[in-house]
Each structure stands twice: as structure tokens, then as C-alpha cells.
């Protein structure tokens, strides 16, 4: 039963047009003329999980190679054309996909489409570029992981304890040995197999005309030859049969930390169950009124910070099955880990057994809707959301439906979500602090 307060929550509306080119490229176009800017995003259906054994970190290294020139562009030209048009660009590698994107003034729309089409046609994969970007990627790993306290924690560490298969458990940044053994032939094969138009989604949104945009998309992406879409294997794993524990040494961290991971259900097949998990994470750690902030930070003074999230990168809509719910905390006293785990378990049991406080679910839900809509304000993040929901959920329009779907999640569903986070179904990784306090 939802009360009027829930019903009156605003729901975003988008004017989405779908089209599929003859080569299989799926296209989503969403006009919004409020500001003279456009977003262009291409998502390829390949990520960390598809890396071959012995080639950890390859999906990310390959992402770098996609910026090194293409059919009609010398090295450095991609960057220069985007930026001298007044735009910004980037790319990122995820567990289930890899994205490439630009935010541009709307008078550069065709140029942005050309740049993406040109590298979908043929990136310049050479020994020189590979060797240069191998050095750059090593520096990226040094700056983000090896030289940084809590670097890569827990996303590079927890999967190896929580999951079993190579696909789900290996280090996504890659070991230096694996990265160094990558060859130009590996990269060409990877491109041929996974970077087919039929394995990608293109989203374009912002200050544009739909028909003109579709014609431009056809002009630039249409000539790219059709290649078969690779069959994506299931990466699913059964529920954990018992608790797992591991320790991770961090030479720079001044105080210990812990990551507690739980395998949660298929986000695509059971979206409503997934949304109950998402609401649970917010209820546990979003803000000073949340259960674990009150208990662990304010009452028991056990931890300095605590957070809960779904998806290795903190985005609950970023992964297919399997995905994880993670609780992390930093704590000053290395001897208090068991007390922290016990307190978390008690709070989860309290949610499961005693249910929620009056108004609790509604305020958490209201805030979450607000957060989701705030993400849609920038043209680029809106574009990326359309592309991501089209690729992973098969439906860009789901972006607009999330507030309504969240409104329908019941207290019972959240209680069930809490009940599933049992001590015998979790992986606990303790970060051992080796740094100077």
C-alpha cells in the first residue's frame, strides 16, 4: 500500500527513438533542446569478465588502444578533434562492458559520431602504440593502486574471495606480467571478436533532431561491415556455501579496513528483487539516519566510515549476474573486526525480524529517487545511462521507470533482502594496515 506522498514523486520522461542498423548496431536517440550540448556514447558488450586466462587487465589495456588513432585519424587526433570542438571525452572498462563517450557542443554532433565510427571501423593497433600504452597503464595502476593507501580496495581484492571462476574473480586491472605478455595479435583478435557493430549500443542525446541524427548515424556507422555478435556465456555462480575469509596487506594504509561481500540475485531477471537490495544498502549506510551509521559510527564508535553498495564500482545497474552487495568500513582498532561484524549482523537481523521504522522506507526511497534523477541532469551521464540500460537490460526506457519501480518495493521485500545477508553466505576481506599512523 503506498500513500499519496509516494505517488506524488516526480517521474522523468524521455523521448526515446530506437533503431538497429543492418550491421546490427543498436541505436538510441533522445532529443532534449534545453541546452546546446550533446552526449555520444558507444558501449561494447565486453568487459573484464571476458578476458582470456593469462591476459588479466586486457580489456582495459585494449580500451587505451582505442584512443591511439583509427582508420582516418593519426595518433593524438581523436583527442584533438574532440577538444578543439569544445568537448570532453573518456572511456572506461567495467565488468560487463566497455564505454567510450564524448560531451560536445551540439554543433559538433556529426564530428562526434564520425570519431566513434572511425574507431569502430579500425583502430590503429601497432607495436609502438601497444608499448606506449602498456607504460601508461602501468602508471595508472601505480597511481591508483600500488602507491595509494586503500588503492583498488576492495574491487581488485574482494572478487577473488567472493567468486570462484576466473571470469569473476581475477584482478581487473591485470598483473604486470600478463599485461607485458599482451601482443598486437591478441589485440586484433579481441577487436575482431568483441568490437563488432552487432555487439555494441550507440546512444546519442541532447540538442539534436532525431531524423537528422539517424541519417548521420547511418552515414557514418552504416558502412562498417557486419560481423557476428559473439555469444556471451553465463557467468553465474551458485550461492556461497559457507563464510570465506582472507587478509590483504596494504603497505600505505594507516588504519585497517574491511570489505564484506555477498552474492546477490540476478539484477536483470529479477529487477524488483534487485531494487529491494539497492534500497537496503541506502537504508543501511546513506547518511546519519541510516542503521549502520547510527550503530557503528555514532553509538559504538567502532568505525571511522561505513558504506554499502551494489556493483564493484558502486553503481547497482552496472553488472549482470553475478553481482555483489558490499559493505566496507575503515576502523581505528585492528582488534575490533569481530565486534564490527557482529554489530552488522545484529543490525541486519533487526531489519529482517523487526522490520522498518515508521517513514524509514519512504524517506530512503525519496532520497534515492532524487539521487537517480540528479544523475540524469548532465547530458553525458544521461546518454551513458540510456546506453547502459539498453545494453544490459535491453531497454533504455527503464531509466524513466525506475522511480515507479522503486515506489512499488515493499517493506517485506527489504526485510527479505536483509535476511539473505547471512554470516555463512559472505566473504570477508580484512585490509591489514602497514602504513604509518
Partner 1 sequence: MTSPVPALTTPRAPKRLTVAEAVLSNGLRVIAVRKPGVPLVEVRLRVPFQSARPTQPARAALLSDAMLTGAGPYDRAGLAAAVQSLGGDFSVGVDADRLLVGGNALATNLRQMLELLATVLTDPAYPKDEVATERDRLIERLSIARSRAGVVASEALARRMWGAHPYAHDLPQPDAVAAVTPAQVRALHQQMVRPSAAVLVIVGDIAPKRVLDQVEKALGSWTGQAPEARVPALPTPQPGPLLVVDRPDSVQSSLRIGGAALPRADARYPALQLANLVFGGYFSSRWTENLREDKGYTYGPHSRIEHNVLGSSLLFDVEVATEVTAPALLETRYELGRIASLPVTGEEVYAVRQYAIGTLALSTATQAGLASTLTALSAFGLGLDWIAEHPKRLAAVTVDDVGAAAHEFFAPARLVDVVVGDARSIIDPLATLGPVERSADA
Binders in 298-317 for partner 1, by CB under 8 A: 298, 301, 304-305
| Nearest approach, Cβ of residue 326 and partner 1 (Å) | 19
| CA-CA-CA-CA torsion sign (137, 143, 146, 151) | negative
Angle at 392 between CA 184 and CA 13, to 5 degrees: 130
Q: In whole angstroms, how close is the CB of 394 to partner 1 at the nearest point? A: 25
Residue 26: asked if its preceding bond is cis (omega within 30°), the reply is: no
**Residues 383 to 422: which contact partner 1 by CB under 8 A?**
none
Of 77, 4, 94, whose CA–CA distance to 41 is shortest?
Answer: 94
Q: How many CA atoms lie within 13 A of 165 on its CB side?
A: 14
The set of residues, in sequence order, having a beta carbon less than 8 Å from that of 327 and lying 6+ positions away, is: 259, 260, 284, 285, 292, 306, 307, 308, 344
The one among 34, 177, 242, 338 contacting partner 1 by CB under 8 A = 34
What distances in angstroms separate CA 148 from CA 171, 277, 284, one per listed residue? 17, 31, 28
Closer residue to partner 1 (CB): 170 or 365: 365
Candidate segments 228-236, 265-273, 318-326, 358-366, binder of partner 1 by CB under 8 A: 358-366
Q: Which helix (H) or strand (E) holds 419?
A: helix 411-419
Could you say which residues in the range 205-234 bind partner 1, by CB under 8 A? Answer: 207, 223
Q: Select from 56, 93, 133, 199 the one that contacts partner 1 (CB under 8 A).
A: 133
Task: Report the residue from 30, 37, 42, 279 that binds partner 1 according to the rule CB under 8 A.
Answer: 37
Judge whether 257 and 301 are in contact, CB under 8 Å.
Answer: no
Phi and psi at residue 156, in whole multiples of 5°? -90, -10
Residue 124 found at the interface with partner 1 (CB under 8 A): no
Q: Please report whether residue 35 would count as binding partner 1 according to CB under 8 A.
A: yes
Residue 115 CA to residue 121 CA, distance in Å, equals 10
Q: Does 149 bind partner 1 (CB under 8 A)?
A: yes
Q: Please state the length of the chain.
A: 437
Report if residue 76 touches partner 1, rule: CB under 8 A: yes
Contact region with partner 1 (CB under 8 A), list: 21-29, 285-293, 306-314, 342-350: 285-293
Question: To the nearest whole angstrom, how small is the minimum distance from the Cβ of residue 175 to partner 1?
Answer: 15
Rule CB under 8 A: say whether 289 interacts with partner 1: yes
Tell me which stretch binds partner 1 (CB under 8 A): 21-29, 75-83, 180-188, 311-319.
Answer: 75-83
Q: How far is the CB of 252 from partner 1 (least distance, A)?
A: 5
Distance CA 411, CA 370 (A): 20
Applying CB under 8 A, does 71 fall inside the site for partner 1? yes
Among 184, 255, 407, 425, binds partner 1 (CB under 8 A): 255
**Residue from 288, 335, 354, 424 that binds partner 1 (CB under 8 A)?**
288
Please list, in sequence order, all residues whose beta carbon lies within 8 angstroms of the beta carbon of residue 287, skipping any fewer than 6 positions away. Answer: 293, 367
Which residue among 228, 359, 394, 404 contacts partner 1 (CB under 8 A)? 359
Amino acid at each position: 500500500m503506498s500513500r499519496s506522498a509516494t505517488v506524488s514523486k516526480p517521474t522523468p520522461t524521455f523521448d526515446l527513438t530506437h533503431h538497429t542498423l543492418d550491421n546490427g548496431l543498436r541505436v538510441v536517440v533522445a532529443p532534449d533542446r534545453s541546452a546546446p550540448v550533446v552526449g555520444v556514447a558507444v558501449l561494447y558488450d565486453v568487459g573484464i569478465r571476458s578476458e582470456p586466462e593469462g591476459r588479466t587487465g586486457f580489456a582495459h589495456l585494449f580500451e587505451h588502444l582505442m584512443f591511439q588513432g583509427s582508420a582516418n585519424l593519426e595518433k593524438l587526433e581523436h583527442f584533438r578533434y574532440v577538444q578543439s570542438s569544445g568537448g570532453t571525452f573518456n572511456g572506461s572498462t567495467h565488468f560487463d562492458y566497455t564505454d567510450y563517450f564524448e560531451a560536445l557542443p551540439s554543433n559538433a554532433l556529426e564530428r562526434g559520431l564520425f570519431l566513434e565510427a572511425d574507431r569502430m571501423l579500425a583502430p590503429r593497433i601497432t607495436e609502438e602504440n601497444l608499448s606506449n600504452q602498456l607504460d601508461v597503464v602501468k602508471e595508472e595502476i601505480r597511481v591508483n593502486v600500488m602507491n595509494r593507501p586503500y588503492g583498488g580496495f576492495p574491487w581488485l581484492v574482494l572478487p577473488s574471495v567472493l567468486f570462484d571462476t576466473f571470469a569473476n574473480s581475477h584482478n581487473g586491472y591485470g598483473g604486470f606480467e600478463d599485461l607485458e605478455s599482451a601482443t598486437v595479435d591478441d589485440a586484433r583478435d579481441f577487436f575482431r571478436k568483441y568490437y563488432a557493430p552487432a555487439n555494441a549500443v550507440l546512444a546519442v542525446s541532447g540538442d539534436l533532431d532525431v531524423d537528422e541524427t539517424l541519417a548521420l548515424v547511418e552515414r557514418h556507422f552504416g558502412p562498417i561491415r557486419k560481423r557476428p555478435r559473439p555469444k556471451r556465456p553465463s557467468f553465474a555462480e551458485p550461492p556461497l556455501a559457507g563464510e570465506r575469509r582472507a587478509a590483504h596487506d596494504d603497505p600505505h594504509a594507516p588504519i585497517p579496513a574491511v570489505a564484506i561481500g555477498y552474492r546477490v540475485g540476478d539484477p536483470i531477471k529479477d529487477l524488483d528483487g534487485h531494487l529491494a537490495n539497492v534500497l537496503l544498502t541506502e537504508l543501511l549506510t546513506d547518511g546519519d539516519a541510516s542503521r549502520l551509521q547510527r550503530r557503528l559510527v555514532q553509538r559504538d564508535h567502532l568505525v571511522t566510515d561505513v558504506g554499502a553498495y551494489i556493483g564493484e564500482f558502486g553503481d547497482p545497474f552496472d553488472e549482470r549476474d553475478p553481482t555483489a552487495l558490499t559493505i566496507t568500513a575503515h576502523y581505528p582498532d585492528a582488534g575490533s573486526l569481530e565486534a564490527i561484524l557482529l554489530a552488522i549482523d545484529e543490525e541486519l537481523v533487526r531489519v529482517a525480524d523487526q522490520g522498518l521504522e515508521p517513514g524509514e522506507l519512504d524517506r530512503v526511497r525519496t532520497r534515492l529517487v532524487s539521487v537517480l534523477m540528479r544523475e540524469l541532469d548532465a547530458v553525458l551521464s544521461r546518454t551513458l545511462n540510456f546506453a547502459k540500460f539498453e545494453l544490459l537490460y535491453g531497454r533504455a526506457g527503464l531509466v524513466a521507470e525506475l522511480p515507479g519501480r522503486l515506489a512499488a518495493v515493499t517493506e517485506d521485500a527489504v526485510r527479505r533482502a536483509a535476511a539473505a545477508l547471512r554470516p555463512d553466505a559472505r566473504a570477508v576481506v580484512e585490509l591489514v594496515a602497514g602504513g604509518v599512523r
